[in-house]
Amino acid sequence: MNFKDYKEILEKAHYTIVGNEVLAPQGQPVAGKDAYGQVWYKDDFVEQVCTQSVEVVRARNDKGHYIADDPDTQKNEAWTTKKVKRKKKNG
């Protein structure tokens, strides 16, 4: 597991990668590797990005309008993930 493989996606959602850790927009660690190489997650969003085939997109409400981030919460509500559909090969 290399968090740098997901750097573009995570930075789009305002996360930062420092060494073997992913930091939330507020600066606290939300994912990383311990001394034994075990990967840990404290943030469901980061876990989804790193373990599934997902794409980061702006969150929208029922009417299709963008949802703003609430700076008073730890979670970044302005971004969400959606599963990427795999294309079938013809032939």
Measured CA angle at 25 (ends 19, 31), to 5 deg:
45
Low-confidence ranges of the chain (pLDDT < 70): 85-91
Per-residue model confidence (pLDDT) at position 88: 59
Q: What is the largest CA-CA distance in the chain?
A: 52
Per-residue model confidence (pLDDT) at position 77: 84
Contacts of 5 (CB under 8 A, 6+ apart): none
Give 60's strand partners. 66
Give 39's strand partners. 33
Q: Which of 47, 57, 45, 44 is nearest to 84 (CA)?
A: 57
Give 41's strand partners. 31
